[in-house]
Chain A
Amino acid sequence: MQLDPSFIWTAFWQLLGAIPTTLSITAVSVLAGFVIGAATAMLRMYRVPVLAQIASAYVTFIRGTPMLTHLLIIYFGLPMIIDGLAEHFGWSFRSVSIPMIGFAYISFSITAGAYMSEVVRAGILAVDRGQVEAAQSVGMTTFQSLRRIVFPQALAAALPNLANSVIGMLHGSTLAFAVSVVDINAKAQIVASTNWKFFEAYLAAALIFWGLTVLIERVAALIEKRVGAYNRGGVV
């Protein structure tokens, strides 16, 4: 077997078409995951009765099981629930009309949520309690002090970990092939299946993932510089 460099190039161009799929899965799971994660973190930190325990169980279960397993459980379990409910309530909606990528969106959002929960929690813990007291001492409500004092700083502190999560979800999105979503990696397999040049095709896929990852790192560094401007000149 011989390497065919020109096919790397050919495959590269064909794979570009799958970038939107990969990015959309990443973006949806990261954004929804952030919202879920922030909510979970708050429930746990404020020890909301019952909900905090549910949130903890969610985080340990999801972090304790593989992302591929989540996808398969959602893929096989969700239709049963939806169709069961639909039948019971007489809706016309059926699970077959959910696009395949929908399962990836839902399941990866749940996965990301659990990981983001820890990222958000660490960020919030990085803001010292004294500032919250200072905010309260001038009469700000809990919500005001969270929104204006805690969250902006928590976000700045969490950015490096957030960037890590985004990269993790970008790479994890390749698992969507299991429910026949054609992302960059799956596309590489399809492209190569006609001439068996898998090695070249996957190399091309790797290059694209690398490029996207570097892009994310760059953007994260830019945001970090901006958001963390207040720390410049200090100890850190």
Chain B
Amino acid sequence: MIALSHISKAFGRNQVLQDISLNVNRGEVVVILGPSGSGKTTLLRCVNYLEKPGSGQIAVGDFQVDCSRARRGDVLQLRRKTAMVFQQYNLFRHKTALENVMEALLVVKKLPAAEARKRSIALLEKVGLGAKLDEYPSRLSGGQQQRVGIARALALEPEVILFDEPTSALDPELVGEVLEVIRAIAREGITMIVVTHEMGFARDVANRVVFMDGGVIVEEGTPDEVFQHPKEERTKQFLRRITPEANYSI
């Protein structure tokens, strides 16, 4: 369904992704874990070409693009099949919640305004913001903004939604409401790739966990395999560092 093959990417002399291949099946939720600088966000951004991979192929559904000779039309096609939820929400600040969701429907899908409006309202209701349609982002909390971001990503009915640390910029008490929405979408069978540091969420929602370090995939498997019985030493080290609670003795 989504096939990344032999993706490499360098920023200057810094090789961020080294020949990465990853397949994601329809309806699957893949969580990518890894220390900062491991390339997980870059990999995610390559999938909808916010970063241009140096080489490799990206296939989404029946559409395939070879990164070394991707044309502008290919990039647009690829982006229309994918959607991104950003760490910093990145809502259009001069547009209301409703307009944020409608934007792509009007401009990219060229739907009539009434139809776009109807769909957008339904999506905002789904993420629990039916009462905030006409608010500008500056009047919304971080959690609400991120839920608008999710509704915006859902609007184009993409084949896959990419979540780039969707809760890391949120106040702790707002994390729950956003994760709840993502969980609900996951249950609907929408394909997702999620970069996150929320281990509980990963364990709970992921069908598969991918651990990255140093620009390569170190280990992948079911949440149970990766969290309970990690095979690689680097994975074990990482898990020890991010779940220190288990080691505390009070």
- Report if A and B associate in a common complex: yes
Residues of A at the B interface (CB closer than 8 Å) are 128, 130-131, 133-141, 144, 148-149, 152-153, 156, 229-235
B92 lies within 8 A of A139 (CB): no
Taking CB as reference atom, which chain A residue is nearest B85?
A137
Give me 20 other A-B pairs in contact (C-beta within 8 A), A128-B90, A134-B91, A139-B76 excluded: A130-B88, A131-B92, A133-B50, A133-B86, A134-B92, A135-B92, A136-B49, A137-B48, A137-B50, A139-B80, A139-B104, A144-B108, A148-B103, A156-B94, A229-B136, A231-B136, A232-B138, A233-B136, A234-B138, A235-B138
Residues of B within 8 A of A231 (CB): 93, 136, 138
Residues of B within 8 A of A136 (CB): 49-50, 79
Taking CB as reference atom, which chain A residue is nearest B109?
A139
Closest 5 CB pairs of A and B: A234-B138, A138-B104, A130-B90, A139-B80, A134-B90
Taking CB as reference atom, which chain A residue is nearest B101?
A138
A138 lies within 8 A of B156 (CB): yes
B83 lies within 8 A of A138 (CB): yes
Partner of A138, one of B49, B88, B139, B152: B152
Taking CB as reference atom, which chain A residue is nearest B155?
A138
Interchain residue pairs with CB less than 8 A apart (9): A131-B91, A134-B152, A137-B83, A138-B153, A140-B108, A153-B94, A230-B95, A233-B136, A235-B138
**Interface size, B (range):** 20 to 34
A134 lies within 8 A of B108 (CB): no
For B121-140 the 0/1 string (1 means CB < 8 A from A) is 00000000000000011110
* A130 to B136 CA separation, bound complex (whole angstroms): 17
* B107 beta carbon closer than 8 Å to chain A: yes
* A152 to B139 CA separation, bound complex (whole angstroms): 19
| Contact of A139 with B93 at beta-carbon distance under 8 Å, contacts A133-B86, A233-B139, A235-B138 already known | no
Residues of B within 8 A of A152 (CB): 94
B104 lies within 8 A of A133 (CB): no
Taking CB as reference atom, which chain A residue is nearest B106?
A148
B140–chain A nearest beta-carbon distance, Å: 10
* A131 to B86 CA separation, bound complex (whole angstroms): 10
Residues of A within 8 A of B84 (CB): 133-134, 137
A138 lies within 8 A of B103 (CB): yes
* A235 to B83 CA separation, bound complex (whole angstroms): 29
* A24 to B156 CA separation, bound complex (whole angstroms): 48
| Contact of A138 with B93 at beta-carbon distance under 8 Å, contacts A133-B86, A234-B138, A235-B138 already known | no
A210–chain B nearest beta-carbon distance, Å: 34
Residues of A within 8 A of B155 (CB): 138
A141 lies within 8 A of B76 (CB): yes
| Contact of A148 with B107 at beta-carbon distance under 8 Å, contacts A131-B90, A153-B94 already known | yes
Taking CB as reference atom, which chain B residue is nearest A156?
B94
For B73-117 the 0/1 string (1 means CB < 8 A from A) is 000100110111010101111110000000110011000000000
A216–chain B nearest beta-carbon distance, Å: 24
Residues of B within 8 A of A135 (CB): 92, 103
A97–chain B nearest beta-carbon distance, Å: 47
A230 lies within 8 A of B104 (CB): no
| Contact of A139 with B138 at beta-carbon distance under 8 Å, contacts A134-B84, A230-B93 already known | no
A133 lies within 8 A of B152 (CB): no
* A232 to B79 CA separation, bound complex (whole angstroms): 32
Residues of A within 8 A of B93 (CB): 131, 153, 230-231
* A231 to B86 CA separation, bound complex (whole angstroms): 21
Residues of B within 8 A of A134 (CB): 84, 86, 90-92, 149, 152
* A131 to B94 CA separation, bound complex (whole angstroms): 11
Interface of chain B residues 184 through 238 with chain A (CB within 8 A): none
A149–chain B nearest beta-carbon distance, Å: 5
Residues of A within 8 A of B108 (CB): 138-140, 144
A25–chain B nearest beta-carbon distance, Å: 33
B138–chain A nearest beta-carbon distance, Å: 3
Taking CB as reference atom, which chain B residue is nearest A231?
B138
A139 lies within 8 A of B79 (CB): yes
Residues of B within 8 A of A138 (CB): 79-80, 83, 103-104, 108, 152-153, 155-156
Residues of B within 8 A of A230 (CB): 93-95, 136-138
* A135 to B82 CA separation, bound complex (whole angstroms): 12
* A229 to B50 CA separation, bound complex (whole angstroms): 30
Taking CB as reference atom, which chain B residue is nearest A130?
B90
* A139 to B76 CA separation, bound complex (whole angstroms): 5
Taking CB as reference atom, which chain B residue is nearest A235?
B138
